[in-house]
Structure 1
Amino acid sequence: MQYGVGLSTDLAGLNADIEQQHEELLELISSQSDEDSGSIHRSFLNGSSNSFVMLPPSPKIFHGREAELKTLLTTLLAPSEPAHVAILGPGGMGKTALALATVHHPDVMAKYLERHFISCESATSYAELLVSIGLHLGPEPSWQSPKAILNYFGACGPCLLVLDNFETPWEASESRSEVEEFIGQLSGIPTLALLLTMRGVERPGKVKWTRPFMSPLDPLSSTASRQIFLDIADEPDDGEDAALDDLLDLSDRLPLAIALMANIASFEGYLATLSRWQVENTALLSDGHDKRSNLEKSITLSLNSPRLASSPNAINLLALISLLPDGIRVEDLVASTVPIPDVRQAQWRLVGTSLAYVDVSGRLKALSPIREYIRRTHAPAPQFTTPLRTYFQNLLALWKAKRHIHSGNLGPELASYVGNITELLRYGLSAEQESSWVEIGDSILVLHDFSRTMLKGDTQLINKLPELINDTGDSGLRWRYATRCLRPGPLLPTDPDALIEEGVQYYGTHMTRSNIDEVIAFYDCVARHYSNGLHKDLSRATEFNALTLDLAREHGETVHQLKALATKCYIAQTSDAPRRLIPVAREGRKLGGLASNPEAWEFYWTEAWALSCIGDFRGAQDLCMEAHEWLVSAGLETTDRRLFLLDVEADIHLQKGEYSEARTVYAEMLKRTSPQRSPIYHGYLLTSAARVDMVMGSVSVNDVSAKLETAQTVFTAYRMHQIPITVCAMAELALYRDDLDTARSLLVKCLTANRRLFPLVASDCLAILGDSRKNLHGGNSSTGDVFPWSIVFLALARKMQDPIRTLHALRRIADYPTIVGEDTALVLFRVVCDVGAEMGIHHLQAECMLGIGDILTQRGDVDEARKMWEGARSRFVRCSRSRDVLQVDARLS
């Protein structure tokens, strides 16, 4: 008999192989469980043939394939005609493990008295396939004829035949027809069920496959991936949870990669494994000798597929998508004019071999371990990466130009490609000519702005710009980068004043018509810089804002005028002057409306904030609705702009005492942010949510403390220490845990530090210090120790022209009837309660009604007092202030 290529025809060698297999069989039998040994013993006693069954053991760790296993069991155990099923998917996806779990299932064992599991991994042709099956059935060469094999399975009764890695013999084009003919003959045996595992998504022809087809295996779920990892490795130590998450992300939920990583982590630890991966990549998982213990060998088997070899362009396409973690649609490849002829055919080849797949959005993707290996062994040539990089750079430039007008779906589409753009720009800096570096640097700046806008956080590529600026010596790039550095965050220099002075001198001598946009952008960033944070200097902010406005008006740039007006609003907002903000916002709305410019949306939300501060909640809510319509029309509803608008909506709820509603809004905002995505805003939201939790009184001290600690960690990472709102929140936390001395000390400290720069925070401190119901000054303090704080609170509220804070200050003054007199206190309570009711401020009404009831009780009017307390209780319930409800209940009992 002629054997296929690679099979020795040396009889002595063949006998030696048979003897070795005989020894291995004896060893295998001795190591089998009783169940498997029984199966082998039954085969030896089978009088119809001299066949024997060798079954690998069932997988001991098996998670995440329960649905697929159920499907296979239903198919194999059906009483109808025998099942013919192909388990498809990429290498390392767990096809073999699923097949073995199926073979060893008790119900399958009961139905199929004979079960054969045959590896076809080394069979590269039809002849070698016959040898593999024949050697499994018996050592004599006569077993290796197709007739003998078909006769055996036709006579053996109910039987399940598993052909593992069947793609190996099937892929050889010169013998594919014979292989399909043979497997078709096997499928015609009425008592034989066929189960094939194959890399790729294609099934052999000439077989009546059981319908519906079983879908190719997908990566495991996050839960199953974690279960497999922790079944192999120990639970992570303190501080290693993040490393475990990173390792699972790097595995891309590929079972083989998970198992290999977990094995290494089990003796090297999580952090050490992660460090090694960052250096070695897939080589870390390639110490084994076969595809089940060597990730690179598993990938190489797919790369060496004859199906892939028949399409030379497929390797180039695979190399290109190794740079694209987000995947890519063929339409984008064609539009970018990447020089890969017949790209759809190349895609089909990659998908057919499961080196890549097409996701639900139609993008061609490769799993992370495959991408890492290909990048290391088949790095893409610049002739393929440059056109695609340029394509995405042009889209970024289009977004920059169109962000102020209706841009359709451009923003969300680009956001879904941020990973690709990042990797292409990074690769361009390492693999392309120096002449493209400045252009790439400018694209990094646009990507940085875009990524922040779309709530994807800062791009790490921004950290490459100082070195890039030094290498290119380009002063224009330097100052475009410096403008970004003036924004709050880790890029802010230690001496921003020196940078600003140098920038003013530079643009003073280098301002031209061609760079006027850069000049205006620089001055605008300087104005913003001086209007917030620890560098707050409102006079300088106003000076640079006026300069920006003059330049914008002089050069007729509507967009820059709108930006300058928005900054003017921001200055008024940070100086806590809502009334001064309103006319500026209306000017911006008018200018933006005349220019049909969605950038005008910012004036809607800033004016809404100002209106909410003065108690015009209906007007504020109407503007929020209009602002939302602007966002939707501009395709910006998933950006940071939506966060700003939600923040105003939360503030409206807070002003009205609708704490549960405000907490719901904060929860929605927190879902859109993280310490990596919009980190500063995330820290602010955690702080705000914690403060609301304390007012509602339904959350444990530990939960509140955890939120504030996380927020402080975020701020510290951005070199933002002692944030006023955080200090105030820490004082409220001390009060929440009844640590009065610490609370009072922190409040006084916060008030002293912020009474000029941050009057809004200062007023919050005064509101607590002057509230006799907080008992902040202890039971032994006199009324005279507390009352002055209320007067100072009132004075600051009047200075800020803040009507709502003025009402709250008057309520606190009314709490001191022994000083102002009972009649005066009652008048104050009733006036504030009426105004609060007119505005719809629920908690203010409740607090006043509580105070009125207390005074009426002292006067002996118990019935009226109870009515007031009952009214206060219903309003405290409306506000979700559980602690206050309990206090009213104590009065009513």
Structure 2
Amino acid sequence: MFHRTLAWYYSDHIHDMPKAVKHCQTALFLARENRDYRGQCVTFARLSWIEWLRGNYTAGQAYAQEAQKLARISGDLCQEAHGLHLETLFWQVLGYYKHCISRSTRARTLLCQCGLSHGDLNSVLMNSQAEVHKSKSEYAEAHNIHNQILQKVLGVHNPYRLGFALMNIAEIEVFMEVSKDLIQEKIDASQAIGKAIKNAMLITACDTIQADLNLREGDMSSLLFCKCLQFAWGNFSEVVSYCLERLADNSRWEVSCHPFSWTTVFLVHSLKLKQKLEIHKALQFLGEVFLRENDDEVTATCLFTLALEGFSQMDVHRSRAECMIRLGDICEKNSDLLKARELWEMARPLFERSLQVKQIQDTDERLSGINKDVKEQHKMHLAQLAELSLPMGKIEEVNDSSEDEWKGENIGIVVVA
């Protein structure tokens, strides 16, 4: 118990992971000597959490599975649920969202069986489910779950849970394009709690969301992101990934003041940690670099297509739509108007699913413009055909729809003998 407590102290408060691991190893040795299955289970769970923080996902997942095995041996349903929660974290970052949902559901069932369905661990499992929805850009569902967690936390005195609940809602609302003032209130409240309880992780998480909000509002300074990176590197892989993703997305920055090398760093970091969603986002961002910096449409098309395949497999709505928009832009530039329109029409409902109002408006403008261009292209082709002296007769245009209803499908060619 003594060494497990020290491991918790060093991992969650001092952020000295090597010392935390050392005390875990001592605790594990003593628990094995005494055939203490529950003690071994709790220690493996702590090791799993430490490896999660450090980004060592393969080792962490193995520890989580070992914790579940020992929990079943000792008949501890609560610890088995905790082990399932830890395993869920690793499946999420590896992009296996169905595995996440199934394990979270199983864990919550175990908590019901032991009468702990209203405890902290149940809220933690709800948070994991919200994270899956967020990863898939199902922001309404994620926001709803986080609000449920907030209502539960407000009924008890738990500043730690309250701070993270507010922070999670603020993060989602940045994606949902909620007004800056409403988001700022939650960030300020969460950060004040973090400072009061001296939780560096919560303070840094609030800083990253503040930086993201600032960027959304047009502030092109990367200093706050870099400050968070400096603190988190080597200790909090989730914060590192969050910052690198924002820095790597060149579509959000002015090209003149932002180096595209961040995109390469993000790709390398994601590959090292085997983060499936982040790897495909990095490929998408790299496509933007080739399109904007080098005007290399061939390479950009390959990268956008590869990213789109990954997003489709994971069912990530917003990122799929963004790739479709870019591929449509390239098709339009190369006069493949029908393919461009098809891609943009597929992108629109995906933006609706992820509540991206501005991008829906941009897509509608694209579709409105291309419908006119397609009509003009058809007229031009008909005119070219009419100029040909075909022996079978002359060519006449048939258009049986009004200007407002026209979408490019109704023009036909009739040969008059």
Q: Following TM superposition, by how much is the alpha carbon of 1:820 offset from its aligned partner in structure 2, in angstroms?
A: 7.9
In structure 1, C-alpha distance between the alignment counterparts of 2:157 and 2:150, rounded to whole Å: 10
Q: Following TM superposition, by how much is the alpha carbon of 1:565 offset from its aligned partner in structure 2, in angstroms?
A: 1.1
Q: Provide the TM-score with structure 1 as the length reference.
A: 0.40
In the alignment, does 2:288 pair up with 1:808?
A: no
Flag the 1:789–1:828 CA change in 2: closer, same or farther, 3 A.
Answer: same
Flag the 1:675–1:528 CA change in 2: closer, same or farther, 3 A.
Answer: farther
Q: Which has the higher helix share?
A: 2
Give the partner amino acid of 1:685: A
Query: Corresponding residue for 2:65?
Result: 586
In the alignment, does 2:355 pair up with 1:880?
A: yes
Residues 41 and 66 in structure 2, CA contact (< 8 A), matched pair in contact too? no
In the alignment, does 2:147 pair up with 1:667?
A: yes
Query: Corresponding residue for 2:135?
Result: 655
Q: Following TM superposition, by how much is the alpha carbon of 1:629 offset from its aligned partner in structure 2, in angstroms?
A: 1.0
Counterpart of 2:238 (choices 753, 760, 784) is: 760
Deviations 1:179-199 (A, max 9, x none): xxxxxxxxxxxxxxxxxxxxx
Residues 57 and 90 in structure 2, CA contact (< 8 A), matched pair in contact too? yes
Residues 766 and 793 in structure 1, CA contact (< 8 A), matched pair in contact too? yes
* SS of structure 2 residue aligned to 1:673: helix
In structure 2, C-alpha distance between the alignment counterparts of 1:820 and 1:779, rounded to whole Å: 14
Query: Corresponding residue for 1:417?
Result: none
Residues 297 and 330 in structure 2, CA contact (< 8 A), matched pair in contact too? yes
Query: Corresponding residue for 1:526?
Result: 6
Residues 528 and 571 in structure 1, CA contact (< 8 A), matched pair in contact too? no
In structure 1, C-alpha distance between the alignment counterparts of 2:176 and 2:357, rounded to whole Å: 6
Counterpart of 1:890 (choices 340, 365, 370) is: 365
Residues 58-97 of structure 1 correspond to what in structure 2 (within 5 A)?
none
Counterpart of 1:842 (choices 317, 334, 337) is: 317
Flag the 1:883–1:576 CA change in 2: closer, same or farther, 3 A.
Answer: farther
- Higher Rg: 1
Query: Corresponding residue for 1:167?
Result: none
Deviations 1:380-409 (A, max 9, x none): xxxxxxxxxxxxxxxxxxxxxxxxxxxxxx
Give the partner amino acid of 1:603: G
Deviations 1:479-520 (A, max 9, x none): xxxxxxxxxxxxxxxxxxxxxxxxxxxxxxxxxxxxxxxxxx
Give the partner amino acid of 1:828: L
In structure 1, C-alpha distance between the alignment counterparts of 2:346 and 2:157, rounded to whole Å: 44
Give the partner amino acid of 1:802: Q
* SS of structure 2 residue aligned to 1:847: helix
Give the partner amino acid of 2:158: S
Q: Following TM superposition, by how much is the alpha carbon of 1:675 offset from its aligned partner in structure 2, in angstroms?
A: 9.6
In structure 1, C-alpha distance between the alignment counterparts of 2:165 and 2:326, rounded to whole Å: 33
Residues 37 and 73 in structure 2, CA contact (< 8 A), matched pair in contact too? no
Q: Following TM superposition, by how much is the alpha carbon of 1:628 offset from its aligned partner in structure 2, in angstroms?
A: 0.8
- Identity fraction in percent: 26
Query: Corresponding residue for 2:219?
Result: 739
In structure 1, C-alpha distance between the alignment counterparts of 2:361 and 2:229, rounded to whole Å: 30
In structure 2, C-alpha distance between the alignment counterparts of 1:772 and 1:689, rounded to whole Å: 25
Residues 646 and 669 in structure 1, CA contact (< 8 A), matched pair in contact too? yes
Output the aligned Cα RMSD. 1.8
Q: Following TM superposition, by how much is the alpha carbon of 1:591 offset from its aligned partner in structure 2, in angstroms?
A: 1.7
Q: Following TM superposition, by how much is the alpha carbon of 1:686 offset from its aligned partner in structure 2, in angstroms?
A: 0.9
Aligned length: 364
Flag the 1:703–1:592 CA change in 2: closer, same or farther, 3 A.
Answer: same
* SS of structure 2 residue aligned to 1:740: coil
Query: Corresponding residue for 1:546?
Result: 25
In the alignment, does 2:338 pair up with 1:863?
A: yes
Deviations 1:366-392 (A, max 9, x none): xxxxxxxxxxxxxxxxxxxxxxxxxxx
In the alignment, does 2:267 pair up with 1:794?
A: yes
Deviations 1:318-352 (A, max 9, x none): xxxxxxxxxxxxxxxxxxxxxxxxxxxxxxxxxxx
In the alignment, does 2:39 pair up with 1:560?
A: yes
Give the partner amino acid of 1:615: G
* SS of structure 2 residue aligned to 1:723: helix
In structure 2, C-alpha distance between the alignment counterparts of 1:857 and 1:764, rounded to whole Å: 33
Task: Structure 1 unaligned segments of length 5 or more: list them.
Answer: 1-520
Q: Following TM superposition, by how much is the alpha carbon of 1:872 offset from its aligned partner in structure 2, in angstroms?
A: 1.5
Query: Corresponding residue for 2:86?
Result: 606
Name which structure has the greater RCO, CA cutoff 8 Å, separation 6+.
2
In structure 2, C-alpha distance between the alignment counterparts of 1:808 and 1:680, rounded to whole Å: 31
In structure 1, C-alpha distance between the alignment counterparts of 2:256 and 2:89, rounded to whole Å: 41
In the alignment, does 2:167 pair up with 1:691?
A: no
In structure 1, C-alpha distance between the alignment counterparts of 2:362 and 2:223, rounded to whole Å: 26
Deviations 1:82-106 (A, max 9, x none): xxxxxxxxxxxxxxxxxxxxxxxxx
Q: Following TM superposition, by how much is the alpha carbon of 1:771 offset from its aligned partner in structure 2, in angstroms?
A: 1.1
Deviations 1:177-234 (A, max 9, x none): xxxxxxxxxxxxxxxxxxxxxxxxxxxxxxxxxxxxxxxxxxxxxxxxxxxxxxxxxx
Deviations 1:615-646 (A, max 9, x none): 11111111111101110011001100101111
Query: Corresponding residue for 1:595?
Result: 74
Residues 189-338 of structure 1 correspond to what in structure 2 (within 5 A)?
none
In structure 2, C-alpha distance between the alignment counterparts of 1:836 and 1:809, rounded to whole Å: 12
In structure 2, C-alpha distance between the alignment counterparts of 1:602 and 1:609, rounded to whole Å: 11
Give the partner amino acid of 2:281: H
* SS of structure 2 residue aligned to 1:615: coil
Counterpart of 1:573 (choices 24, 31, 52) is: 52
Residues 814 and 828 in structure 1, CA contact (< 8 A), matched pair in contact too? yes
Residues 432-447 of structure 1 correspond to what in structure 2 (within 5 A)?
none
Q: Following TM superposition, by how much is the alpha carbon of 1:842 offset from its aligned partner in structure 2, in angstroms?
A: 1.6
In structure 1, C-alpha distance between the alignment counterparts of 2:182 and 2:139, rounded to whole Å: 17
In structure 2, C-alpha distance between the alignment counterparts of 1:703 and 1:669, rounded to whole Å: 18
Q: Provide the TM-score with structure 2 as the length reference.
A: 0.83
In the alignment, does 2:332 pair up with 1:852?
A: no
In structure 1, C-alpha distance between the alignment counterparts of 2:145 and 2:186, rounded to whole Å: 16
Query: Corresponding residue for 1:76?
Result: none
In structure 2, C-alpha distance between the alignment counterparts of 1:604 and 1:786, rounded to whole Å: 41
* SS of structure 1 residue aligned to 2:335: coil
Counterpart of 2:184 (choices 705, 714, 718) is: 705
* SS of structure 1 residue aligned to 2:294: helix
Q: Following TM superposition, by how much is the alpha carbon of 1:676 offset from its aligned partner in structure 2, in angstroms?
A: 6.1
Task: Structure 2 unaligned segments of length 5 or more: list them.
Answer: 369-417
In structure 2, C-alpha distance between the alignment counterparts of 1:700 and 1:628, rounded to whole Å: 34
Residues 815 and 825 in structure 1, CA contact (< 8 A), matched pair in contact too? yes
In structure 2, C-alpha distance between the alignment counterparts of 1:675 and 1:702, rounded to whole Å: 25
Deviations 1:680-737 (A, max 9, x none): 121112111111111011x211100001111011112112357221110110121232
Residues 814 and 820 in structure 1, CA contact (< 8 A), matched pair in contact too? no
In the alignment, does 2:247 pair up with 1:769?
A: yes
Residues 829 and 848 in structure 1, CA contact (< 8 A), matched pair in contact too? yes
Residues 658 and 879 in structure 1, CA contact (< 8 A), matched pair in contact too? yes
Deviations 1:232-281 (A, max 9, x none): xxxxxxxxxxxxxxxxxxxxxxxxxxxxxxxxxxxxxxxxxxxxxxxxxx
* SS of structure 1 residue aligned to 2:154: coil
Residues 659 and 692 in structure 1, CA contact (< 8 A), matched pair in contact too? yes
In structure 1, C-alpha distance between the alignment counterparts of 2:228 and 2:184, rounded to whole Å: 18
Residues 675 and 682 in structure 1, CA contact (< 8 A), matched pair in contact too? no
In the alignment, does 2:104 pair up with 1:624?
A: yes
Deviations 1:633-666 (A, max 9, x none): 1100110010111111011111111111111110
Give the partner amino acid of 1:774: R
Flag the 1:609–1:759 CA change in 2: closer, same or farther, 3 A.
Answer: closer
Give the partner amino acid of 1:579: T
Query: Corresponding residue for 1:277?
Result: none
Residues 873 and 885 in structure 1, CA contact (< 8 A), matched pair in contact too? yes
In structure 2, C-alpha distance between the alignment counterparts of 1:553 and 1:695, rounded to whole Å: 47
Flag the 1:674–1:825 CA change in 2: closer, same or farther, 3 A.
Answer: same
Residues 195 and 203 in structure 2, CA contact (< 8 A), matched pair in contact too? no
Flag the 1:617–1:771 CA change in 2: closer, same or farther, 3 A.
Answer: same
